[in-house]
């Protein structure tokens, strides 16, 4: 089963499972501090729209997209005041507008390393000059593979997903190669995962 089909299958269970996540809040609040009040944010790989709702509640205009049709159904129901599209981050992103912020949380962790730089360049194409990108990825664990297919059965049925893991220096290098300037970075632990969060300016 490919990743899109997997997320269509697990959408409701995944959304319920992650509804109480809080590791992302502090880093996202830092990100908001860089954005103009009332600006426009593109939520990349928006899932069920939980982070889109966060930005709407902060007064931003929000456009979100995900390649999972089931996730977008949940997002449109969850955040009716935002605009959502079914799109793939590997394909050209034309929204007819530019954004003050591009937010890509827990998205690049599903992209193979050979594709990461091109995907970063693609998702920052709709970003205004001097706009800000936020990314969050999982940190590589010592002695563990930095790319793998993971079989899971957390929701009472089996599914599998591809994951990439990174070091902070590695992700910074990708962002700099894409022409961005790092303005903030931090790593936060949540359970067994260390999340690398980086904010960069176009």
Helices (H), the chain: 3-17, 25-32, 50-57, 69-78, 113-123, 168-177
Question: Considering Cα of 133, then 68, then 196, then 56, what sign does the dihedral take?
Answer: positive
Q: How far is 60 from 55, CA to CA, in rounded Å? A: 6
Instruction: Identify the band that residue 110 occupies on the pLDDT scale cut at 50, 70 and 90.
Output: very high
User: How many CB atoms within 10 Å of residue 162?
Assistant: 15
The whole-number pLDDT of residue 85 equals 98
Among residues of the chain, what percentage have pLDDT more than 90?
98
pLDDT at 173: 98
Give 35's pLDDT tier (boundaries 50, 70, 90): very high
pLDDT at 33: 98
User: Considering the chain, what is the average pLDDT of its residues?
Assistant: 97
| pLDDT tens, residue by residue, 85-105 | 999 999 999 999 999 999 999
CATH code assigned to 3-201: 3.40.50.150
Give the pLDDT confidence of 130-179 residue by residue, as tens digits.
999 999 999 999 999 999 999 999 899 999 999 999 999 999 999 999 99
Q: Is the pLDDT of residue 1 over 90?
A: no
CB atoms within 10 A of CB 96: 5
Residue 85 burial class via C-beta count within 10 angstroms: exposed 0-12, middle 13-18, buried 19 and up: middle
Strand partners, 147: 164
Q: For residue 110, how far is the Cα from the chain centroid?
A: 10
Residue 148 pLDDT: 96
Name the pTM for this structure. 0.96
194 closest CA partner among 119, 155, 123, 144: 144
CB of 46 within 8 A of CB of 184?
no
């Amino acid at each position: 089963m490919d990743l899109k089909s997997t997320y269509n299958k697990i959408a409701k269970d995944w959304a319920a499972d992650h509804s109480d996540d809080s590791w992302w809040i502090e880093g996202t609040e830092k990100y908001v501090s860089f954005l103009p009040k009332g600006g426009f944010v593109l939520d990349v790989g928006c899932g069920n729209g939980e982070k889109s709702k966060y930005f709407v509640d902060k007064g931003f205009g929000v456009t979100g997209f995900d390649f999972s049709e089931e996730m977008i159904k949940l997002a449109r129901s969850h955040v009716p005041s935002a605009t959502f599209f079914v799109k793939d981050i590997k394909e050209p992103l034309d929204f007819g507008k530019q954004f003050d912020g591009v937010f890509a949380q827990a998205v690049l962790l599903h992209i193979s390393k050979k594709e990461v730089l091109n995907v970063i360049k693609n998702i920052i194409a709709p970003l205004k000059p001097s706009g800000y990108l936020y990314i969050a990825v999982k940190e590589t664990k010592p002695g563990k593979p930095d790319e793998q297919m993971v079989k899971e059965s957390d929701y009472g049925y089996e599914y599998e997903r591809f994951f990439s893991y990174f070091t902070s220096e590695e992700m910074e290098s990708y962002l700099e190669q894409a022409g961005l300037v790092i303005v903030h970075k931090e790593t936060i632990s949540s359970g067994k995962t260390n999340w690398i969060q980086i904010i960069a300016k176009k």
